């Protein structure tokens, strides 16, 4: 047999093995959906060879907006994104819109943001309902020095440090802190590493942190605008979604330093099953979940806090990490609920009065302004008024808005109870109190509204104090067929709690395990732009 024929046989053998390969995803959040798209689009994989296991009966992960006008719409939240999310827009450019298949999700999003761009005229509100000069950052010279110092500090020197270890008390009273922490959901006790990454990653937003220009929103909520079209596309390509299936554990080949998954242990309706994994198969695991164990309340019921640690995403990671330090340390992120949790709330209102009063108060129609934060609120309340409709089937005359409070364990200013103990009605009462609307208007809004609160024990767990080894690499050293996806997989320079981080992890995992001659686009680094630096310095002296 000559060398050419031998070479061709080997190539055909490899091709045959790849054609028979299976691709397993644990979880159906944005990272898994994106990973499946990249396998098909860039890897030439057949959708029928892809299996996505989902513990719940809903796809989308943190993109979880549901409900109706009669019973109230509800969601845990939505993620901000912006023009420098290159992996995200690369993905969305490939997917047809769910409402207009003639354009991509990217085109739909670009059109929406061109028509309703953010330019906030009211960013902060004080205890009296007045709007302070929120364009002034309020830095002292010490604040500026400390801000520059943490951005210049090598990341390794911040292991185990909190943000409070790097700044004096005054920094946390500045307008910059209130505007930055409520845009990105930072608490002062969170990781100095993550705060440094955010400062460097979003330095181009320093100069617009007050007006929030350049912050993007989807046309509708992110479930309907992103998760639905992605899932539709995958189903059209015959991807196998298996709902109500929990992946309990992975088995690995022994006798080698290589990391090779050989099986999946699953359970569904109490029935256990072991799924064999061949050496040519690939396994993608979303380890951990920021919306795990979330609980919803109602107008008459407080959501409470689910402390059961029942999420399969966390349990699986804990099992995998036991005795395997290269798989990270989940306890660094999920062991202190008091520091990783807060409460959001979604309000459905059937009277135009609220939007009319908010337009008069803010000087902008719904959807044109950004976040509004009540800086003296004991709960540190922030609200977001969306462009309407926020749901595709939302009837005319019904509006939806959303908000959250970062300090749910403190008594409210008007409702003298911790936020976590409050019903949706009491949370709405507190918000309206901070707006100082006339009592008659408040009563009318209360009567026309349905406020559904949501407690999320791990919503900012990815910001918890950590070391550089607490998150596993997307593809751990020595892995032949396993990758980690999502918010708890390490990706240098990029920032967690973003859609971009999840999509980048999926792109990295697919390109690496398929050994494609492709790499994700580099993380945007505004610090390399002289104009961005000049604008940031000017902002720090405002």
Instruction: Give tens-digit pLDDT for 315-340.
Output: 999 999 999 999 999 999 999 999 99
**Cα(321)–Cα(96) distance, integer angstroms:** 38
Instruction: Give the mean model confidence (pLDDT) for residues 250-274.
Output: 95
Place of tokens 């009318």: 444
pLDDT of residue 1: 44
Q: Which residue has the higher pLDDT, 12 or 148?
A: 148
Calculate the alpha carbon distances from 257 to 262, 322, 384, 473 in Å: 14, 16, 50, 16
| Phi, psi for 100 (deg, rounded to 5) | -145, 90
- Above 50 in pLDDT, residue 16? no
pLDDT of residue 13: 44
Return residue ranges of the chain for CATH 3.50.50.60.
Answer: 3-66+227-289+307-325+471-526
- Above 80 in pLDDT, residue 5? no
Instruction: Give the mean model confidence (pLDDT) for residues 8-20.
Output: 48
pLDDT of residue 542: 93
**Cα(487)–Cα(307) distance, integer angstroms:** 21
What token pair was written down for 534?
Answer: 């000049």
pLDDT of residue 19: 57
Instruction: Give the mean model confidence (pLDDT) for residues 221-231.
Output: 97
Strand partners, 473: 490
pLDDT of residue 172: 98
pLDDT of residue 78: 85
Calculate the alpha carbon distances from 297 to 73, 348, 453, 468 in Å: 12, 14, 5, 37
What token pair was written down for 378?
Answer: 């004991």
Which residue from 414, 350, 337, 352 is spatially nearest to 381, judged by alpha carbons?
Answer: 414
Instruction: Give the mean model confidence (pLDDT) for residues 52-64.
Output: 95
Q: Could you tell me the end-to-end alpha-carbon distance of the chain, in angstroms, rounded to an integer? A: 77
The string of pLDDT tens digits covering residues 406-421 is 999 999 999 999 999 9
pLDDT of residue 80: 86
Calculate the alpha carbon distances from 162 to 176, 189, 228, 465, 494 in Å: 18, 5, 38, 6, 19
CB contact at 8 A, 6 and 13: no
Question: Which band of pLDDT confidence, cut at 50, 70 and 90, is reported for residue 17?
Answer: very low
pLDDT of residue 12: 39
Task: Identify the architecture of domain 3-66+227-289+307-325+471-526 in CATH.
Answer: 3-Layer(bba) Sandwich (3.50)
Q: Structure pTM?
A: 0.95
Cα torsion 458, 459, 462, 465: sign = negative
Find the radius of gyration of the CA atoms of the chain: 24
pLDDT of residue 79: 86
Q: Which residue has the higher pLDDT, 81 or 97?
A: 97
């Amino acid at each position: 047999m000559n060398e050419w024929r031998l070479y061709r046989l080997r190539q055909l053998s490899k091709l045959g093995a790849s054609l028979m390969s299976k691709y397993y995803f644990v979880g159906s959040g944005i990272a898994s959906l994106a990973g499946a798209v990249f396998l098909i689009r860039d890897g030439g994989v057949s959708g029928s060879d892809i299996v996505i296991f989902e513990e719940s009966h809903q796809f989308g992960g943190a993109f979880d907006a549901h409900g109706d006008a009669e019973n109230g719409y509800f969601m845990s939240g939505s993620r901000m994104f912006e023009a420098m999310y290159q992996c995200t827009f690369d993905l969305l450019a490939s997917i047809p819109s769910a409402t207009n298949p003639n354009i991509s999700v990217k085109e739909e999003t670009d059109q929406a943001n061109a028509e309703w761009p953010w330019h906030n005229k009211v960013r902060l509100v004080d205890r009296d309902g007045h709007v302070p000069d929120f364009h002034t950052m309020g830095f002292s010279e010490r604040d500026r020095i400390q801000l520059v110092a943490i951005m210049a500090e090598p990341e390794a020197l911040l292991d185990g440090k909190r943000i409070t270890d790097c700044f004096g008390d005054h920094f946390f009273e500045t307008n910059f802190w209130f505007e930055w922490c409520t845009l990105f959901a930072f608490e002062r006790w969170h990781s100095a590493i993550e705060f440094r990454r955010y400062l460097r990653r979003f330095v181009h937003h320093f100069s617009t942190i007050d007006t929030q220009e350049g912050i993007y929103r989807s046309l509708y909520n992110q479930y309907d605008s992103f998760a639905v079209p992605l899932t539709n596309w995958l189903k059209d390509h015959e991807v196998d979604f298996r709902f109500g299936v929990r992946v309990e554990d992975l088995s690995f080949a022994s006798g080698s330093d290589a990391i090779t998954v050989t099986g999946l242990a699953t359970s569904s309706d109490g029935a256990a099953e072991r799924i064999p994994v061949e050496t040519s198969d690939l396994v993608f695991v979303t380890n951990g979940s920021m919306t795990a164990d979330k609980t919803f309340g109602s107008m008459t019921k407080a959501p409470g806090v689910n402390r059961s640690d029942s999420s399969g995403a966390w349990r699986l990671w804990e099992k995998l990490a036991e005795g395997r330090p290269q798989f990270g340390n989940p306890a660094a992120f999920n062991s202190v609920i008091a520091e990783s949790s807060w409460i959001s709330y979604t309000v459905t209102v059937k009277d135009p009065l609220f939007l009319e009063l908010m337009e008069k108060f803010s000087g902008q129609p719904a959807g044109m302004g950004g976040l509004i934060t009540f800086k003296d609120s004991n709960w540190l309340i922030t609200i977001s008024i969306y462009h309407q409709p926020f749901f595709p089937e939302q009837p005319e005359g019904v509006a939806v808005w959303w908000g959250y409070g970062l300090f749910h364990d403190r008594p409210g200013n008007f409702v003298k109870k911790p936020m976590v103990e409050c019903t949706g009605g009491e949370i709405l009462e507190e918000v309206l109190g901070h707006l100082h609307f006339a009592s008659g208007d408040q009563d009318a809004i209360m009567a026309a509204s349905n406020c559904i609160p949501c407690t999320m024990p791990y919503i900012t767990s990815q910001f918890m104090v950590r070391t550089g080894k607490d998150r596993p690499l997307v593809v751990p050293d020595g892995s032949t067929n396993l990758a980690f996806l999502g918010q708890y997989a390490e990706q240098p320079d990029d920032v967690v709690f973003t859609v971009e981080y999840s999509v980048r992890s999926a792109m990295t995992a697919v390109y690496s395990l398929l050994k494609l001659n492709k790499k994700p686009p580099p993380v945007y680094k505004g610090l390399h732009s002289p104009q961005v630096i000049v604008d940031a310095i000017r902002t720090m002296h405002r």
